[in-house]
Structure 1
Amino acid sequence: MRIDARRRAGLRAGGVAAAAVLALTLAAPATAGDATDHGRGGQDRTYSFTVMGTSDLHGNALNWDYFKDAEYDDSAHNDVGLAKISTLVDQVRADRGARNTLLVDAGDTIQGTSLAYYYAKVAPITEGGEHPMAAAMNAIGYDAAALGNHEFNYGIPLLRTFEKQLDFPLLGANATSVRTGRPAFAPYVIETLHPRGGKPVRVGILGLTNPGVAIWDKANVEGQMQFGGLVETAKRYVPEMRRKGADVVIVSAHSGADTSSSYGDTLPFPENAATLVAEQVPGIDAILVGHAHQEIAERVVTNTATGRPVVLSEPLRWGMRLSVFDVDLSFHRGRWSVEGVDAQVLNANTVPEDPQIVELLADEQATVVDYVNSVIGTSTEAMSAATARYEDTAALDFINHVQAQAVQAELTGADAALPVLSIAAPFNREAAIPAGEVSVRDVAGLYIYDNTLLGIKLTGAQVKAYLEKSAEYFKPVTAAGTYPASALTNAPTATAPNGTPDYNYDVMRGLDAPLTYDVDLGQPVGSRITGLAYDGVPVGDAQEFVIAINNYRQSGGGNFPGVTTAPVLVNRQVEIRQLLIDWVTAQQVIDPATFTATNPDWRLTWMGEPLTVTP
């Protein structure tokens, strides 16, 4: 059964967004989970209910890949989108009884696909119209959602418009107003479930967002909102929820399970803190985890104060999975107590899309598909990534140029005077920008991953070490001459016995002056980078550079040296793919002559002699 959207809309008109507590009653014919008598006089009862959870939907409403202009598919054959989630939710409601279920999200909803981008930047909902993600989530019948850090990417006015369009509360207990110090969003909601023949069960849902918003979206939130620690905030609100009658406390946390911080000690609060919340805050029964894009069917953490288990689950990303928490209660001496919580994840690729959601978003989908195939600029010449793994190409130069410009624009103070370098990998051998008209899809093909951009600081010695790691991609040769690409690339290593993938080979390039170097395949691994120079001057070990780098690399992907501990100077959580699209849209013309050197910045050699490589 869908929850009555009109009733929810009326509650929102009464001030849901600012309220600290919201009590809702779900009423529908029961099919499961009824209270059962077990003791004399009917005083002891049991009841079971289910909390379903999504997270990191990232604008995926339908099972569609906008950049391939086809249904979404990946190597694991995952499916994505709220239309798939809707079918899973309907199945759970039918199995457990709609009256005995709740549906919650853990954030990062309005950014990540062309659909989300279109209704934020091209036809923003602040100028009219309903956000497709709001429409779909309302139709499915969500009960609450936590704020993700990406909710702030398009500014607070658009976020507030999105919030008003929801028929359920958007929660963020640790997002507070700089001016008043009070919560900027509802901290929590208390839902009421009605077992047949039993006392109502009150389920508190606490929403926590990521403290990193203060760094990643500083330009949008500075002076307006501040973001406290998850543990500190939960310690305040969980007891309050219990005092206000919550029999069960569920936390929806946009924070990963494995404690870590991409921003190091820049903030006093860790980025990924869900396990810490479970361990350190008494009174929590389960945590819906988000942010880390991991699949955690069930993880049990023991609270150090009470010794009680807290169950965590994370539903991967993009609507690929639905977390399902089954909560068992017993009623004794006038109160409900949690006897156990079990969790699992359901796979969206096992069900069809809900045709109601598909139909609901048909017009918006058609509009965005047209947009993605639309022309946004021109290129003075064709650029191909087909040979980018073994020779300097304009295609990778273009990516590095845009990345480096974006990072340079964010630098402040003494760091703004440092030379900026950038790294890019040959992700897609089929990627090509045609001469003449260029579409959104053409540009997106250059960058097929959803990586975001950071700027870190490395020394000259670290730059060389980074390039030496990258050069492990190549197989050794014994003489100068001509080689097919397959004889040189994708070298097997101890960590990649089947061959180093293309995405683990990085090319590095300078923005305001060339960074030049040779990769000498006549030298042993670790000693292949020769002639490393910036603007024609040999790079000194102590020289400092700013490196435009993607979040996968910076977080340790590929195990490149120096990057995980390097100072982070820029981190606005902006997708690189979207940066490329925005750059072409703004500049209108791609002219490789403006960012590609006449002579190659790097080349493959043997003992100093250039190698010739054939496809």
Structure 2
Amino acid sequence: MATSDLHMQMMAFDYVKGMSNGGGSLAKLASLIAEARAEITSRHGACLLFDNGDTFQGNPITEFIVRNGCQQVHPIVACMNALQYDAGGLGNHDFDHGLDALASWLTEHKMPVVCTNVMSASLPDVCPDLMLERAVTFADGTADTIRIGVLSSLPDKTALWSRHHVQDRANICPPLPKLKTAAATLRAQGADLIVVLAHMGLALFDEGPEAQNQISDVARIEDVDVVIGGHTHLRFPGPDHSGVAEADCNLGTVHGTPVVQPGASASDLGVIDLYLGKPEGSAAWQVTSATSKLVPVTKNTPECPEILKIAQDAHSATMQYLAEPVATMDKSIHSFFALAQPSPVPALLAAAKRRTIAEVIADTADSNLPLVAVASAQLTGGFDGPDNFLALSKGVLQRRHIAGLNPYANHVWAVKTTGAQLLDWLERSALIFNTLAANAPDQLLVDPRIPGFRYDAIYGLTYTVDPRQPPRFDISGKVIASNKGRIRDIRYHGKPISWEQEFIVATTDHRAGGGGVYKTFSSQEIVMQGHAPLQEAVLAYLQSPDRQSAQAAPPWSFPHPMNRTAILHTAPEACDYLDEIAHLNPEQCGETPDGFLRLRLHL
């Protein structure tokens, strides 16, 4: 059995909305785990439970613990200890709060934690490989022992995404060479089975030479018997990976190797049943057949009382902290149309970043350069469904609302760049739009393979995005030389920018590290880094008397008119705000099977 990308979801609760929901939770998975264990016990088999990382980040409980400390065992560690996990791996987001915090939490785990491509003296409780032994009693009463080798890996780009935490303290290597060598070693040491906890996904497209989703390659390693995936928040087996040639989405195999990827935020329990045999003349067990499946949680899946009890103290303390009034807002904001026109949500984030960096560079030579700010259109549905939008009413804001504006542990950074690099930045961003054809009323505005948080707008500039034109970059970030691109008429303070002109860009550590298939900035290009949490920057901005003066004009627009129509997927609640896009003549076209409202826009 496998979990992955739990992201601190112990209870079926939305901390931003401050209410229970019908979604996933570790407490619900606990009920499914108990059922699966009972089933395999009745069949005289052995049962193993693994976790595949991205455990310690994702909702405000961890932020509360980092800020206020934890008097007892970290609550999600206590939950996992109660569930008796056999082993776990690390994900990239487990590094978001630094190596010291991670190391402290890992000491509390009763399960061994494995990461084959991370070496760090700061993480003494992480081992590169593991050999488990489990006794099996057969129906006829005979018994034997099975030896299971366990490996784990995460994207080597974690070294860039979390460089301020891991630089000079951890060596994060490309995963494939490490896994191949370690798998062969475990096999030579007598492993009957080798399981890889691969915190990476099954690529939906060719990601190029710096691919981070390499399950297909992991599944082809000669000595690997089972792969548990994660990272992308997609599900396998199932329709999420339809069209991937090497994947059998019904059988749950990749290149013939059983694979399971159990969604995110405790949405599913991954289950792989392995049937073993000993070929004639061999003393070693081998897989004779396998089945992979996902067992999804539903609104009716009961939550395990033991897990709820363990999580309750941290939940209650966090709720009390999040209820604190911290600021006021003059008008309502939401993200329902953020991929059809500039949205107030990224505008707020950009203003907060710009104000933070302006204060830092005020007395430096960099203060003479133009300062702009980048913010992405996060919270726009996508893989996480129609609940993944934000709507805040005007009036008093509580801490939970600030947490909702930025669900990740991002920090405000600044980089120095040129006009030419800003053009590349915007062209990579504009890749999110499909190339819109004439006379195609039901074409999708947005490429569903690209999440909204990869769509950046640069506030302080004005420019036009023309999705009638083919993109200048392909989905892996490679330049398409024959395409001129989609960005036109870039201006700063009303004047066209030059390609040599220098700018300071307020951004995040994730984007400066190349996250989202963007440029990776060197240490020399980074003007400011350090511990300036984005949530705290937003709060400081909202509490400042000059907050309105820091906001930039809407940066981007489509050409008008484009004489195109396209479908936007948004939340059903967007119906109450259609007057805001009246100029696009929106038509409601029903809902998708997964609950998105379909709006036909006239662009």
Judge same fold: TM > 0.5, yes or no: yes
Closer, same or farther: CA 210–183 of 1 in aligned 2, 3 Å: farther
What SS does the aligned partner of 2:160 have? helix
Tell me which residue corresponds to 1:144: 87
Closer, same or farther: CA 225–600 of 1 in aligned 2, 3 Å: closer
Find 1:273's aligned residue among 214, 220, 239.
214
| Separation of aligned partners in 2, 1:237 and 1:70 | 45
Find 2:52's aligned residue among 106, 113, 116.
106
Tell me which residue corresponds to 1:361: 311
Tell me which residue corresponds to 1:63: 12
Find 1:116's aligned residue among 50, 53, 62.
62
Find 2:461's aligned residue among 477, 498, 515.
515
Deviation for aligned residue 1:152:
1.2
Deviation for aligned residue 1:353:
1.1
Find 2:402's aligned residue among 430, 443, 446.
443
Find 2:231's aligned residue among 274, 287, 291.
291
Find 1:212's aligned residue among 157, 174, 178.
157
1:93 aligns with 2:42: no
| Aligned partners of 1:443 and 1:580 also within 8 Å | no
| Aligned partners of 1:554 and 1:564 also within 8 Å | no
Closer, same or farther: CA 420–203 of 1 in aligned 2, 3 Å: same
Read off the aligned partner of 1:401 and give its amino acid letter.
A
Instruction: State how 1:44-63 maps to structure 2 within 5 Å.
Output: 52-63=1-12
Tell me which residue corresponds to 1:44: none
| Separation of aligned partners in 1, 2:79 and 2:336 | 43
1:538 aligns with 2:459: no
1:168 aligns with 2:97: no
Deviation for aligned residue 1:542:
6.3
Tell me which residue corresponds to 1:46: none
Read off the aligned partner of 1:440 and give its amino acid letter.
R
Closer, same or farther: CA 339–492 of 1 in aligned 2, 3 Å: same
Q: Which runs of 5+ in 2 are unaligned?
A: 249-253, 381-388, 472-483, 527-531, 562-579, 584-603
Q: Which runs of 5+ in 1 are unaligned?
A: 1-51, 74-78, 477-490, 557-562, 573-577
Closer, same or farther: CA 273–595 of 1 in aligned 2, 3 Å: same
Deviation for aligned residue 1:604:
9.2
1:233 aligns with 2:178: yes
1:133 aligns with 2:88: no
Task: Tell me the alpha carbon deviations over residues 429-463 of structure 1, each in whole angstroms, 9 at most, x when there is no partner.
Answer: 9733644x431223345468999999997646557
Q: Give the structure with higher Rg (CA).
A: 1
Tell me which residue corresponds to 1:26: none
Closer, same or farther: CA 385–337 of 1 in aligned 2, 3 Å: closer
Closer, same or farther: CA 243–398 of 1 in aligned 2, 3 Å: same
1:372 aligns with 2:312: no
Task: Tell me the alpha carbon deviations over residues 543-567 of structure 1, each in whole angstroms, 9 at most, x when there is no partner.
Answer: 57677789999999xxxxxx97642
Tell me which residue corresponds to 1:5: none
Tell me which residue corresponds to 1:192: 134
| Separation of aligned partners in 1, 2:82 and 2:408 | 30
Find 1:431's aligned residue among 391, 398, 402.
391
Deviation for aligned residue 1:344:
0.8
| Separation of aligned partners in 2, 1:469 and 1:282 | 37
Find 1:324's aligned residue among 261, 265, 271.
271
| Aligned partners of 1:407 and 1:570 also within 8 Å | no
What SS does the aligned partner of 2:498 have? coil
Find 2:519's aligned residue among 567, 571, 578.
567
Task: Tell me the alpha carbon deviations over residues 178-204 of structure 1, each in whole angstroms, 9 at most, x when there is no partner.
Answer: 799x99535223232332413211122
| Separation of aligned partners in 1, 2:128 and 2:105 | 15
Deviation for aligned residue 1:506:
6.9
| Aligned partners of 2:103 and 2:125 also within 8 Å | no
Task: Tell me the alpha carbon deviations over residues 99-143 of structure 1, each in whole angstroms, 9 at most, x when there is no partner.
Answer: 610100111100111122222x22234xx3211110111111100
Read off the aligned partner of 2:551 and give its amino acid letter.
T
Read off the aligned partner of 1:534 and give its amino acid letter.
Y
What SS does the aligned partner of 2:273 have? strand
What SS does the aligned partner of 1:165 have? coil
**Percent identity of the aligned residues?**
22
Closer, same or farther: CA 258–453 of 1 in aligned 2, 3 Å: farther
Aligned residues: 506
Task: Tell me the alpha carbon deviations over residues 292-347 of structure 1, each in whole angstroms, 9 at most, x when there is no partner.
Answer: 21101289779xxxx99422111111110111111111135433222122211110
| Aligned partners of 1:402 and 1:583 also within 8 Å | yes
| Aligned partners of 1:178 and 1:223 also within 8 Å | no
| Aligned partners of 2:511 and 2:518 also within 8 Å | no
| Separation of aligned partners in 2, 1:154 and 1:234 | 26
Task: Tell me the alpha carbon deviations over residues 27-59 of structure 1, each in whole angstroms, 9 at most, x when there is no partner.
Answer: xxxxxxxxxxxxxxxxxxxxxxxxx00111111
Closer, same or farther: CA 283–410 of 1 in aligned 2, 3 Å: farther
Tell me which residue corresponds to 1:351: 301
TM-score where L is the length of structure 1: 0.68
Instruction: State how 1:407-422 maps to structure 2 within 5 Å.
Output: 419-422=371-374
| Separation of aligned partners in 2, 1:410 and 1:219 | 18
1:401 aligns with 2:351: yes
Tell me which residue corresponds to 1:254: 199
| Separation of aligned partners in 1, 2:581 and 2:255 | 63
Tell me which residue corresponds to 2:569: none
TM-score where L is the length of structure 2: 0.69
Tell me which residue corresponds to 1:222: 167
What SS does the aligned partner of 2:61 have? helix
